[in-house]
Structures are given as C-alpha cells and as structure tokens.
C-alpha cells in the first residue's frame, strides 16, 4: 500500500540567514530513510504520465520502485539508461513544469518529489562508486561536438557509447559550459559537474579546451582537415543582452554573464586567493526576472551586499524564474521591485550611484502571451546603488554562424534545425540546446543532444 | 598545457615569450589576440599576438610585467608550461592597399603594431614608424621594424634616446615637413592613443587604434570589454580589437580600465609580501 501523505517529504536545507553568507549548497538532500519514505508515495500507476513529461524519458516509476525497495544502485542504472546527468538534473530541472506537473499524486496534494529522488540516487551512487569504464566496440568514425555544456555532453556520451570517436571542443578553459560558468555553486556544486564530466571521459570522449570553433578552427575545417564525419553544435546562448539605456557602461554595471562567470568559473568569491576580482558594494540591483537573475541576486548577497534588489518590469505572475528559485531568493532577503522598468543608470565620477526606474502597469497580453507592461508617466524614481547586474537574456554567440557558410539561422541568431533530427541546413551538421532554442533549460538541451546523437548515428549507419 | 619555447628580456619591464600553441598558430592573423592563464588558480588576461610561426605551431607574445599575472608569467622559463592559451581572438586587422602608412607604437604597444606593419610591407605599402617611450629602455623592437619600414623615428619623454618629446610632436613635424600619410595605426597606452587620434584628426589623417580592455572570455560572453564607438556600445573582443580611433570614447575606456585598481593594488602587495 502506497504512502498516502499528501505532502512531499521535506528536503533538509541550510537556514536562509546562514546560507545567504556562504556558497555551500542550499538543499542538503534526502537521507536513505527520507528517500524510501518519499518513494513509497509513488502509486506505480499504469499511465506513467511522468515519463512522457520528461524531455529525456527517464523510466521514473521503475527507478522509484527500486528506491522504495532500497536498491539504490539499481535505481541509478535505470536512470542513467536515459539520463547522463542525474545529479545535475535532480538539482536544476524545473520538475514542477515537467515530470512532477503531470504526476497523478499532484491532483490531490503534492506530486511525488521525483527531482529530489533522482538527486538522492545520483549522490548515493557517486559517494560509493568511481566512474565506470565500459567495454565499447569502436567504429573508427570521428564525430566532433562543439561546446561542453549539457547538450554537448549528452550528445557526446550517447555517441561514444555507440562506438564513435568523439571529440568535444570547448572555448573556455574548463568543460561544463553553463553548468560551470553560469549556475552558482550553491545550486549546483562544481565538484558534481566535474564528476559527470569525468564519467563522459571514461566513455572515451576526448575534451579539448581552449579551442574556439569559428576562430581556432572552422566547421568546414573539422570536416576537411580533421576528418570528422559529423559535427554537433551545442555552443549555447552566451551573448548577453544589455538594456541600451544611458549610463550602462559606467563602472559597476555588469552583464549577469560576467558577474556569474567571475564568481563561478573564476571563483572571485575567494579573492584574493583567486586573483579574479568582482565588485559588489553594499547595494545591488539585478535587472530581470529569470533564473539567471535569481542566481545573480543570490550570488551578490553571498558576496556581501547588504541590500539586493530584483528589478523586473512585469509582475509576480510573469516572473520567468522557477517558483522555487523565487522562494529561495525571498527567504534569503532579496527585495523584489516588480513592475519597475529601468530607464537610466545614474553615476558619479564614472561609477554607478543609482538606477532610475519607471513604475509599470500591465495591459493586454503581448506576443509572448504575457501581459504587456506599460509605463506610468511621471512615476520615475531612483534607487541608490553601487552595482547593477543586467540579467535580461542571452542569445547565441555569432562566431559560428559568421564562419560557417550554408548554416541557416534565425534573425535573432538561433540555428535553424529539423526538430525530429536536430539536423541543420548544412550537411553533416546538427545543433541543439540554447543555440537553437535561445536560453532555455538544461534538460531541454540534453534532450536535443540525445535526439541529435540518434540522428547522427542513423545517418552514419546509412553511409 | 602550452610549452614555453623561448623567452627574452626586451627591457627591464618587457619580455617576449614564444609559446607552442598549434590551434592558435594555424589561423591567427595580424591584429588578433590570445587569452592565457598561467596556472590552475589563475586569472584570464588578454595579450596581443606579436608574431606567429605556422610551421612550428608557435605564437610570440610580448608583455609588460605590471600586475599579478604578468609577474607569474615572468617567473616561468623555456621548458615550463602555461596551463591555458586560447585564440586567435578578435577580428584580424583590415589592411588596405594604401600608398603610405604611419605606425605609432607607444611602449609595449610596438608589439601588436609590428605584425600589422609587417603585413602592410609585404603587401607593398610604404610604411614609417614612430616608436615612443618614457626613456631609452622603453623603446622596443626598433631592429624588428627596421627591415619592414622606410624610416624608424624614436621619441623619448626624457630625451635619453631619439628626439625628446612625445609621438604626437614627431607626427606633427613629419606632416609639416610635407610627408603625406593615407592612414595612421596607433597602438599604445590609452592616453597616447587618445592624443594621437586628436592630433591625427587635426591633420585630417584617418587613424586606427587597437584596444585591449579588461575582459574574461574574449569570445563575446561577458561584455566586460564594452567600449563606446561612434555612440554605439561595441565589444572589443569580437567587434575589435581594431577600431576607427576618431569614434572611440577614450575617456570612458580609461575609466573602465581603472575598475579594479584597488583590487590590483591589493593582490600585487600580497604577491610581493
């Protein structure tokens, strides 16, 4: 008989007023007892809506059944049949709009805590095992992957498993893409990302860092000079958008990309032990309402800012960030200034002193389906600040499209693909993840990497 | 890891280093730059490419030992390795078939200037160069420029070598004496580029400058290197590093360059302690 508690077993977390001063993980994870208790809430229903709700179709009821029985290793094997990054997905997937949204238990009470269970299974496995080196029969066919973020890692792992010689080219000095430079340590510990990267290497994938495809080498050269039979582009959405308002180049104005990269990848929070600095000051405003904005605001708080604001031009219901991130940010003392639109950055002697905003109201829904913000005339006011972080979105980096003839892209820079196969307009070239969709989620990028790997395999088999 | 093949002291503060970096050497062109990290805990700093050798897969960088990272770099020797060396970054210099071009190199700015002038020389463009420095020892690469230009002019602030004065004095006197230039390429400290551009503007000579602002990734990701050019925000890493000097907001750039002054002083003191 299933455990009929309407609520999820709560996950232990660091206290908000403690964690907003350190970079350790917010959620501490289930114990074995808690995991088993939660796992017994799964009804093992026949319809399995959760599996269809998962972009990589993890056999969720099966792994949960093993957790309930205490067979944690078996649960891990079941998950990793479909998902190469369970420790990552258990932490950063928006389960509430995917598997958990459609969970039958969610109709009367809370869904089964699928994400927390996935995380528990992955963490338990990692604590007890080293990455395995499986026996793989090599095909002697080379495939190149551009970018080592979630899309690239997944595509590379799938193809390596099938016997292809896969090389990943990464522009930065460390692999992991947005998992390394973007998502903060307190949400996704970098040691975990490293473990996942190690297990991809164990499959025989070679990762070459410090190579910028589009600069160090072009896609055409990968085919012609390096002998790759196919190329997967998973280069992400790394180009930051700015507000294009007066004062945006003052000292103290950062893109969220720069602010987070300094802190996450370059470990500026350990300055001067790490020589890369970051300027925070006492009062910080982060402009934007997505997950990146929440990450930047919570990072600023941890870096010592006394007051941190989220400035967003729409309202609470329109915030694109996950509800959990907004909740965590509020608990940690982030102040939300909703329905406010920045119009000018004020400065003195070249440094930021404040952000001038206008109050907004919401009108009719716009093209995005969200209610359009309308400025209230004469409502301008200035928030006194030391630092402004602009987190209003990223688009794909132009280097690849500028240097790859025959690769068709959208006007905003996204690579155009056939969604069934992730094949681009150029022969042998596939693409997936944020470079196709614009900034989206880790799991959607992984799903695209997987789809592309399957299509690449089919195409190369037919050759 | 990227092995250091050779290293040479150019003056008390400037060094030249040849690094084995085949992915950079295979495609780099005049005007482009690299980013390096000396060790696993290191910061990323951009440096302009001074020379390259495609056959041997090597790239030459020239740097002034001024901060934390260049000090770490200076402590390394041939046979040692640098942990990260990525490039080529930025747009190659657009070289036009002019009749006569003047290069102006201030201090270590002579290093990124050299490959551009050499490339122009190879295209058959007549070139002169003015090399400026605080004193004799800050004038570098004179012997390298000699075979690729018609005239090397030297100015020093203290008159210890060449003519006493600054590069713009020499520029004005050359033009006054009747020499005609189609274009100037000025590379050096921001303040030198600012005044070289002002003088060139008065004289009506188009002037290109090469910028090297604070940046992290060098691929358009951080936006730290933003610079206002003709009223528009550009990223020096992907839109540059070369820009029309007339259009660059040098005052903003100088301010942005000072963003981490306090932190730099702090870490340099620790390094010395």
Q: What is the CATH number of the domain that holds B157?
A: 3.40.50.80
Cβ proximity of A138 and A166 under 8 Å: no
Residues B34 and B139 in one domain: no
CA of residue B70 relative to chain centroid, distance: 15
Residues B58 and B121 in one domain: no
Q: Report the distance separating Cα B60 and Cα B53, nearest Å.
A: 8
Residues B106 and B76 in one domain: no
pLDDT tens digits along A153-209: 999 999 999 999 999 999 999 999 999 999 999 999 999 999 999 989 999 999 999
Q: To the nearest whole angstrom, how far is the Cα of B77 from the nearest Cα of chain A?
A: 22
Cβ proximity of A340 and A311 under 8 Å: yes
Interface contact B217, partner A, CB < 8 A: yes
Q: Which residue has the tokens 């716009």?
A: A366
A256: nearest Cα among A393, A440, A398, A94: A393
Interface contact B20, partner A, CB < 8 A: no
Q: What is the pLDDT of residue B66?
A: 86
Residues B110 and B229 in one domain: yes
How many domains does chain B fold into? 2
Residues B215 and B238 in one domain: yes
A346 conformational bin, left if phi > 0, alpha if psi -120 to 50, beta if neither: beta
Mean pLDDT of chain A: 95
Contacts of A402 in chain B (CB under 8 A): none
Count, in order, helices (H) and strands (E) of chain A.
Answer: 17, 16
Q: What is the pLDDT of residue B258?
A: 87
Domain boundary among B89, B124, B159: B89
Give domain status of residue B263, yes or no.
no
Q: What is the pLDDT of residue A463?
A: 82
Q: Report the distance separating Cα A356 and Cα A375, nearest Å.
A: 13
Q: What is the pLDDT of residue A272?
A: 86
Q: What is the pLDDT of residue A270?
A: 86
H or E segment to which residue A99 belongs: none
**Percent of chain A clearing pLDDT 90 (strictly above):** 90
Give domain status of residue B141, yes or no.
yes
Both tokens assigned to B208: 């290109």
Give domain status of residue B230, yes or no.
yes
Q: Report the distance separating Cα B177 and Cα B67, nearest Å.
A: 41
Q: Which residues lie below 8 Å from residue A263, measured CB to CB, with a gap of 6+? A: A184, A269, A278, A299, A303
Q: How many C-beta neighbours within 10 Å does residue A227 have?
A: 11
Q: To the nearest whole angstrom, how far is the Cα of B32 from the nearest Cα of chain A?
A: 10
Domain boundary among B54, B89, B124: B89
Residues B60 and B188 in one domain: no
Residues B53 and B131 in one domain: no
Q: In angstroms, what CA-CA distances link A459 with A161, A229, A308, A405?
A: 16, 10, 51, 21
Residues B154 and B106 in one domain: yes
The answer, yes or no, to whether residue B269 has pLDDT greater than 70, is no
Cβ proximity of A406 and A111 under 8 Å: no
**Closest chain B residue to A245 measured between Cα atoms?**
B233
State which residues form the domain around B123: 100-257
Q: What is the pLDDT of residue B266?
A: 77
- ipTM here: 0.91
Give domain status of residue B34, yes or no.
yes
Q: Which residues lie below 8 Å from residue A93, measured CB to CB, with a gap of 6+? A: A115, A441, A442, A443
Contact: B260, A244; criterion CB under 8 Å: no
Residues B150 and B78 in one domain: no
- Sign of torsion over alpha carbons B47, B50, B52, B57: negative
The answer, yes or no, to whether residue B52 has pLDDT greater than 90, is yes
Smallest Cβ–Cβ distance between A258 and the set B216, B219, B256 belongs to B216
The answer, yes or no, to whether residue A83 has pLDDT greater than 60, is yes
pLDDT tens digits along A288-346: 999 999 999 999 999 999 999 999 999 999 999 999 999 999 999 999 999 999 999 99
Contact: B220, A399; criterion CB under 8 Å: yes
Contacts of A181 in chain B (CB under 8 A): 221
Smallest Cβ–Cβ distance between B222 and the set A209, A258, A399 belongs to A258
The answer, yes or no, to whether residue A251 has pLDDT greater than 80, is yes
Q: Report the distance separating Cα B33 and Cα A110, nearest Å.
A: 54
Interface contact B86, partner A, CB < 8 A: yes
Residues B163 and B184 in one domain: yes
Q: What is the pLDDT of residue B273?
A: 36
Across A424-437, average pLDDT:
97
Q: How many C-beta neighbours within 10 Å does residue A3 have?
A: 16
Within 44-73 of B, beta carbons closer than 8 Å to A belong to: 44, 68-69
CATH number at residue B63: 2.40.30.10
Q: What is the pLDDT of residue B270?
A: 56
Q: Which residue has the tokens 């939660």?
A: A38
The answer, yes or no, to whether residue A355 has pLDDT greater than 70, is yes
pLDDT band with cut points at 50, 70 and 90 for residue A260: very high
The answer, yes or no, to whether residue B6 has pLDDT greater than 70, is yes
Residues B151 and B60 in one domain: no
Q: Give A6 or B267, the one with higher predicted confidence.
A: A6
Which pTM does this prediction carry?
0.93
Contacts of A261 in chain B (CB under 8 A): 216-217, 221-222
Contacts of A254 in chain B (CB under 8 A): 223-224
Q: What is the pLDDT of residue B272?
A: 44
Cβ proximity of A389 and A285 under 8 Å: yes
Give domain status of residue B262, yes or no.
no
Q: What is the pLDDT of residue B216?
A: 92
pLDDT band with cut points at 50, 70 and 90 for residue A84: confident
Q: Report the distance separating Cα B86 and Cα A215, nearest Å.
A: 10
Give domain status of residue B20, yes or no.
yes
Contact: B43, A251; criterion CB under 8 Å: no
Residues B238 and B109 in one domain: yes
Q: Answer whether the bond into residue B88 is a cis peptide, omega within 30°.
A: yes
pLDDT tens digits along A212-248: 999 999 999 999 999 999 999 999 999 999 999 999 9
Domain boundary among B66, B89, B112: B89
Contact: B87, A216; criterion CB under 8 Å: yes
CA of residue A105 relative to chain centroid, distance: 27
B102: nearest Cα among B133, B51, B134, B145: B145
The lowest-confidence range among A126-130, A205-209, B122-126 is A126-130
CA of residue A108 relative to chain centroid, distance: 30
């Amino acid at each position: 008989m299933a455990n009929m508690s309407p609520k999820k077993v709560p996950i232990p977390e660091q206290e908000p007023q403690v964690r907003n001063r350190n970079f350790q993980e917010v959620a501490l994870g289930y114990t074995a007892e808690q995991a088993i208790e939660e796992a017994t809430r799964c009804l093992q229903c026949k319809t399995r809506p959760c599996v269809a709700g998962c972009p990589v179709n993890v056999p969720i009821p099966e792994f949960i059944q093993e957790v309930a029985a205490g067979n944690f290793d078996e649960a891990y094997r079941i998950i990793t049949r479909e998902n190469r990054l369970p420790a990552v997905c258990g932490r950063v997937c928006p389960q509430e709009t995917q598997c958990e949204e459609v969970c039958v238990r969610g109709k009367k009470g809370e869904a089964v805590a699928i994400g927390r269970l996935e995380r528990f299974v992955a963490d338990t496995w990692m604590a007890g095992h080293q990455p395995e080196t499986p026996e793989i029969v090599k095909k002697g066919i080379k495939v190149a992957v551009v970018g080592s973020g979630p899309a690239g890692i997944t595509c590379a792992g799938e193809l390596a498993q099938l016997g292809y010689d896969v090389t990943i080219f990464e522009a930065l000095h460390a692999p992991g893409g947005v998992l390394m430079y973007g998502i903060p340590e307190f949400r996704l510990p970098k040691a975990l990302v490293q473990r996942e990267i190690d297990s991809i290497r164990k499959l025989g994938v070679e990762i070459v860092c410090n190579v910028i495809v589009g600069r160090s080498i072009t896609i055409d050269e990968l085919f012609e000079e390096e002998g790759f039979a196919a190329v997967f582009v998973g280069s992400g959405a790394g180009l930051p958008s700015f507000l294009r308002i007066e004062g945006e180049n003052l000292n103290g104005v950062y893109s969220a990309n720069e602010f987070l990269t300094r802190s996450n990848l370059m470990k500026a929070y350990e300055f001067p032990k790490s020589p890369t600095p970051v300027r925070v000051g006492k009062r910080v405003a982060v402009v934007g309402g997505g997950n990146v904005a929440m990450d930047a605001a919570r990072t600023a708080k941890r870096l010592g800012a006394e007051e941190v604001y989220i400035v967003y031009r729409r309202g609470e219901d329109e915030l694109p960030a996950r509800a959990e991130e907004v909740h965590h940010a509020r608990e940690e003392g982030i102040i939300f200034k909703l329905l406010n639109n920045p119009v000018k950055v004020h400065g003195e002697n070249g440094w930021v002193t404040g952000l001038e905003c206008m109050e907004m109201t919401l009108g009719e829904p716009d093209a995005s389906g969200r209610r359009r913000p309308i400025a209230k005339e004469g409502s301008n006011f200035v928030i006194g600040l030391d630092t402004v972080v602009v987190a209003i979105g990223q688009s794909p980096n132009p280097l690849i499209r500028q240097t790859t003839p025959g690769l068709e892209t959208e006007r905003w820079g996204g690579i155009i693909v056939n969604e069934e196969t992730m094949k681009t307009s150029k022969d042998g070239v596939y693409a997936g993840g944020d470079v196709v969709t614009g900034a989206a989620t880790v799991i959607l990028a992984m799903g695209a990497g997987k789809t592309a790997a399957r299509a690449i395999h089919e195409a190369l088999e037919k050759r | 890891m990227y092995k250091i093949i050779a290293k040479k002291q150019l003056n008390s503060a400037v060094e030249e280093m040849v690094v084995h970096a085949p992915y950079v050497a295979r495609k780099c062109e005049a005007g482009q730059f690299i980013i390096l990290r000396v060790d696993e805990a290191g910061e990323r700093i951009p440096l302009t490419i001074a020379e390259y050798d495609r056959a041997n897969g090597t790239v030459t960088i020239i740097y002034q030992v001024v901060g934390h990272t260049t000090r770490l770099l200076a402590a390394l020797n041939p046979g040692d390795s640098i942990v990260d060396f990525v490039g080529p970054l930025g747009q190659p210099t657009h070289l036009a078939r002019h009749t006569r071009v003047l290069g102006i190199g201030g201090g270590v700015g002579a290093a990124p200037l050299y490959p551009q002038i050499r490339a122009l020389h190879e295209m058959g463009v007549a070139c002169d160069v003015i090399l400026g420095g605080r004193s004799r020892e800050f004038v570098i690469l004179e012997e390298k420029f000699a075979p690729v230009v018609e005239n090397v002019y030297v100015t020093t602030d203290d008159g210890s070598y060449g003519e006493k004065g600054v590069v713009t004095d020499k520029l004005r006197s050359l033009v006054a004496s009747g020499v005609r230039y189609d274009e100037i390429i000025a590379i050096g400290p921001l303040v030198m580029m600012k005044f070289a551009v002002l003088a060139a503007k008065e004289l009506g000579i188009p002037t290109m400058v090469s910028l090297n602002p604070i940046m992290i990734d060098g691929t358009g990701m951080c936006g730290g290197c933003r610079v206002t050019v003709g009223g528009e925000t550009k990223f020096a890493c992907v839109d540059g590093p070369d820009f029309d000097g007339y259009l660059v907001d040098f005052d903003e750039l100088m301010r942005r360059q000072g963003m981490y002054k306090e932190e730099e002083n702090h870490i340099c003191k620790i390094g010395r302690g």
